[in-house]
Amino acid sequence: MYPQEDNKFKKSCPPFNWYIFLSFIFSQTETTKIKENSHTKWRWLPPIMNHAWPTHPFQGPSCQDKRPNLSEIINHGVPKELCQKVLAVVTEFFQLPPEERAQYLTKNHSKQVKVFNYYQKYDGIGKVTMWSETFSHPWHPTEDFTHLLPTNPPQYREVFAEYARAIGVLFDRLLSLISRGLGLDKDCLKRRIGEKPGLNTQANYYPACPDPELTMGMPDHNDLGSIAVLLQVEGVTGLQVIKDGKWLTVDPVPDAFVINLADQTQVLSNGKFKSVGHRAITNKLLPRLSLGMFYTPNNDTVIGLVEDLIDEENPPEYRKYSFKEYMEEFYKQEGKRRRVKEAFELQR
């Protein structure tokens, strides 16, 4: 697998010096803060997904989640220059002429490399469409899909492969930290997420929006897999997290990754770690780019309780399911604020 193979990268990492400096970070205000960003050359580009202009104001979805789990980490070992390079190359991709990006446009989710929007149908916000465009593809094993990735921008394949190797190392560290945080052996979570995990990236591009009140970048959701490592461009906010029923803005911190705990971590930890409810809003002045890397079980993996976490005081909260069942439930809930893991909760 990627991390073990990549000794060259490991040697270049700083010591394993984790500093989770903002656990449960929440900014003090829900106001979107926008700073001019001199490093990123943005130009306005209408999203190819959203031709229809929304006709009534966005109401804001409600969410009951009380204890989100989101952190920003620094000293993560992924070189700053590499993060900047990958953001630059993905930005360039979104700045290609729409016809060029449109070759990847699809509603078929079984496609490996695709431009799409998961949330175009969404109850509760009426006719409002999402003001975003997402480019998704696997990030490992590279030899299986690199030939499908864009050749324009020309550096895309090479930069992405280098970034994917570095993030592979990071995922191993995170999974082992979370396992140890649960009092389990360091490989436990990775083992439970299973062989041949789905390793996909999602680059989300949110063009500047003439009236952000009328639409959403990405609606309220929880990530599906185990954890997500999210890189945001500096200087443009958009990510929000729900806490005690309030949306709070997560300002990008220089050189930091946002780490979202996702649904499978909540289930496997029997509710000890919470999957975070989050969304992205748009702004009037600047486009925004975020790049998520995901680590997800494959369809055959059975997600079930970890015996060491269960006792009289902590009875199992979820029934066993295959990830295929979980994804069927996910697609069944299209158009709603998806609450997929809730469908597998055991009734008391």
Ligand X SMILES: O=C(O)CCC(=O)C(=O)O
Nearer to ligand X, 125 or 280 (CB): 280
CA distances from 75 to 18, 80, 177 (A): 6, 10, 15
Cα–Cα nearest to 135, from 72, 86, 65, 82: 86
Nearer to Fe ion, 259 or 309 (CB): 259
Say which entry of ligand X, Fe ion, none residue 239 contacts (CB below 5 to 8 A, set by partner kind): ligand X
Within 92-121, the residues that bind Fe ion by CB under 5 A are none
Say which entry of ligand X, Fe ion, none residue 290 contacts (CB below 5 to 8 A, set by partner kind): ligand X
Say which entry of ligand X, Fe ion, none residue 184 contacts (CB below 5 to 8 A, set by partner kind): none
We find the least distance from the C-beta atom of residue 345 to ligand X, in angstroms, to be 22
We find the least distance from the C-beta atom of residue 95 to Fe ion, in angstroms, to be 23
Nearer to ligand X, 230 or 256 (CB): 230
We find the least distance from the C-beta atom of residue 183 to Fe ion, in angstroms, to be 28
Span near Fe ion by CB under 5 A; candidates 59-67, 171-179, 216-224, 248-256: 216-224
| 308 Cβ contact list (under 8 Å, min separation 6) | 183, 184
Span near Fe ion by CB under 5 A; candidates 149-157, 222-230, 326-334, 339-347: 222-230
Say which entry of Fe ion, ligand X, none residue 227 contacts (CB below 5 to 8 A, set by partner kind): none
Say which entry of Fe ion, ligand X, none residue 190 contacts (CB below 5 to 8 A, set by partner kind): none
> What distance in Å separates the CA atoms of residue 297 and residue 198, rounded to the nearest whole number?
6
Nearer to ligand X, 65 or 223 (CB): 223
Span near Fe ion by CB under 5 A; candidates 99-107, 147-155, 170-178, 221-229: 221-229
Nearer to ligand X, 269 or 275 (CB): 275
We find the least distance from the C-beta atom of residue 325 to ligand X, in angstroms, to be 21
| By the rule CB under 5 A, 263 interacts with Fe ion | no
Say which entry of Fe ion, ligand X, none residue 54 contacts (CB below 5 to 8 A, set by partner kind): none
| By the rule CB under 5 A, 223 interacts with Fe ion | yes
Nearer to ligand X, 222 or 269 (CB): 222
HEC sequence for the chain: CHHHHCHHHHHHCCCCCCEEEEECCCCCCCCCCECCCCCCCCCCCCCCCCCCCCCCCCCCCCCCCCCCCEEEEECCCCCHHHHHHHHHHHHHHHCCCHHHHHHHECCCCCCCCEEECCCCCECCCCCCCECCEEEEEECCCHHHHHHHCCCCCCCHHHHHHHHHHHHHHHHHHHHHHHHHHCCCCCCHHHHHHCCCCEEEEEEEEECCCCCHHHCECEEEECCCCCEEEEEECCCECCEEEEECCEEEECCCCCCCEEEEECHHHHHHCCCCCCCCCEEECCCCCCCEEEEEEEEECCCCCEECCCHHHCCCCCCCCECCEEHHHHHHHHHHCCECCCCCHHHHECCC
The residues that touch ligand X, with contacts defined as CB under 6 A, are 202, 204, 218, 223, 230, 232, 238-239, 278, 280, 290, 292
Kindly determine how many residues on this chain lie close enough to bind Fe ion according to the rule CB under 5 A: 1
We find the least distance from the C-beta atom of residue 222 to ligand X, in angstroms, to be 9
Say which entry of ligand X, Fe ion, none residue 280 contacts (CB below 5 to 8 A, set by partner kind): ligand X
Q: How many CB atoms lie within 10 A of CB 61?
A: 19
What is the binding site for Fe ion (CB under 5 A)? 223
